Amino acid sequence: MYALNATHSPDLVSWVESANQPETDFPIQNLPYCVFKTPGNPASIGIGIGDQILNLRACGESGLLNPRFASVSKQPTLNQLMALPPTEQSQLRGRIVELLSEGSPDADKIANTALVPQSDVEFLMPCNIGDYSDFYASVYHATNVGSMFRPDNPLLPNYKHIPIGYHGRASSIVVSGTPIRRPVGQLTPTEPGAAPTRDACKLFDYELEVGCLVGQGNQLGESVSIDNAESHMFGLTLLNDWSARDIQKWEYQPLGPFLAKSFASTISPWIVTMEALAPFRCPEFKRDAEDPRPLNYLASDSNSKFGGIDLQLEVYLLTEQMQQQGFKPQLLTRGSFTNLYWTFAQMLTHHSSNGCNLRPGDMLGSGTVSGQTRDSRGCMLELTWDGDQQNALPGSQRTPIKFPTGEERKFLADGDSVIFRGFCETSDHRRIGFGTCMGQVLPASQSN
Ligand code: MN
């Protein structure tokens, strides 16, 4: 696990003025990675600083990085950089802080050749995500959803012993801003015993999640111990695991979600590194006294004390009408990543515990981040659900969310934009943010 060092000091100031504004997501203490493109230039690795991007490729070409870092900075994706061991990640972060700190002798050179306004770029996928696995780590989400699908038996007996997950689809992960086409599929029969229909999804939903991007991989046949798990984690990003609830309900038994999930997932362009998150580490979830202890391979002293991350998450929705009438996006949910029953270290350890090899750039999804209260529920399935009603999946048995235009939503409508934000904040460190993860819903394709 990364220790606190000089790069976390709240006293650091950058010569990039916008990075010193109190409301910025990207002060010099953050330095999240992205991949971006400007017209006529190749895709480049970048680092967020205030409202600008430091072009890492350009830094390498100007001789500002050592040969090893210059070599990974030329790549059109982050994968090679992500594979560097933590000691080198830390050296690179230290060098970037040097370059961007007030008083840097290279400030003029960088300002002229390696700084791009974020508003001028197209963001690309930050890395090639070879494999994506999605977990189910919020016990409140699992309990709420379990209550809808299995009222008598909400939390299955394995839940508190094993981080539940399934293999997701990597090919359809897109970067923030990419429009999301409403899927068509087999929908749950409306009457018991009736045949399913094939139509556009009617219960279209988002899931508020955090993605953990794998850094160093592990060899096939070798597992990662819980004490080494953090050294295989590169960083975190905001993740929207779009979900077609009516397709899901019909298809998910007995093998789990399939087409209800695989049509698209959206990530933020920014990956906040594990080192940047060091000041915001916290104890793992406090289990009830009667809960089982995790098996030994999922337990360690360091994971208990620092495995959690004090990360605040928000969901906003903007309908097309709201946009036209000049309304701002409406806050639907405010949640905390501390509500997760399992830490990312436990998920990664469990994932590799059968000898499955994880590779640089692979992504682990946390599962929907939901808390105990209604306003911290991380998807519409839960937000508009009245907990006292059984079998609350059909649209008619739900309490809609109201918007200033007079519109109501039980699930997402065409034209709706879903926006996630995330930030870490404590009194003795600089606040750092995750940027935004946004997607707008397009109508289902007619050709289907
Ligand atoms: Mn999910």
pLDDT in tens, 60-92: 999 999 999 999 999 999 999 999 999 999 999
Q: What is the mean pLDDT of residues 386-394?
A: 56
Interval 136-167: pLDDT, tens: 999 999 999 888 877 888 899 999 999 999 99
Between the CA of 367 and the centroid of ligand 1 the distance, in Å, is 4
Give the chain's domain count. 2
Count, residues in the chain? 448
Q: What is the mean pLDDT of residues 299-325?
A: 98
Q: How far apart are the first and last CA of the chain?
A: 48
Between the CA of 168 and the centroid of ligand 1 the distance, in Å, is 9
Q: If you average pLDDT over every residue of the chain, what do you get?
A: 95
Residues 165 and 120 in one domain: no
Distance of CA 24 to the CA centre of its chain: 19
Between the CA of 205 and the centroid of ligand 1 the distance, in Å, is 11
Q: 388-395 long-range contacts, Cβ below 8 Å, gap at least 24?
A: 390/151, 391/148, 391/151, 392/148, 393/148, 393/149, 393/188, 393/203, 393/245, 393/246, 393/249, 394/190, 395/202, 395/203
Residues 115 and 146 in one domain: no
Domain closes at, from 82, 101, 124: 124
Residues 25 and 136 in one domain: no
Inside any domain, residue 99: yes
Between the CA of 33 and the centroid of ligand 1 the distance, in Å, is 24
Q: What is the pLDDT of residue 274?
A: 98
Between the CA of 113 and the centroid of ligand 1 the distance, in Å, is 41
Q: Is the dihedral of CA 19, 20, 24, 28 positive or negative?
A: positive
Interval 238-280: pLDDT, tens: 999 999 999 998 999 899 999 999 999 999 999 999 999 999 9
Residues 306 and 185 in one domain: yes
Inside any domain, residue 448: no
Residues 160 and 120 in one domain: no
CATH number where 33 lies: 2.30.30.230
Inside any domain, residue 193: yes
Residues 116 and 136 in one domain: no
Kindly report the number of other CB atoms within 10 A of residue 193's CB atom.
Answer: 5
Domain closes at, from 124, 155, 184: 124
Domain closes at, from 124, 140, 156: 124
Q: What is the pLDDT of residue 191?
A: 83
pTM exceeding the 0.85 threshold for the entire prediction: yes
- Domain hosting residue 39, numbered range: 6-124
Q: What is the pLDDT of residue 448?
A: 52
Q: What is the pLDDT of residue 391?
A: 52
Interval 1-12: pLDDT, tens: 899 999 999 999
Inter-residue contact 379 to 208 (CB < 8 Å): yes
Q: What is the pLDDT of residue 1?
A: 86
Inside any domain, residue 1: no
Q: What is the pLDDT of residue 367?
A: 98
Interval 297-310: pLDDT, tens: 999 999 999 999 99
Inside any domain, residue 322: yes
Between the CA of 240 and the centroid of ligand 1 the distance, in Å, is 8
pLDDT at 330 over 90: yes
- Contacting residues for 153 by C-beta, under 8 A, at least 6 apart: 146
Residues 55 and 152 in one domain: no
pLDDT at 215 over 80: yes
Q: What is the pLDDT of residue 446?
A: 74
Annotated catalytic residues are 141
pLDDT at 389 over 60: no
Residues 330 and 191 in one domain: yes
Q: What is the mean pLDDT of residues 186-202?
A: 90
Residues 195 and 331 in one domain: yes
Residues 194 and 97 in one domain: no
Which helix (H) or strand (E) is 208 found in, with range? strand 208-214
Between the CA of 41 and the centroid of ligand 1 the distance, in Å, is 35
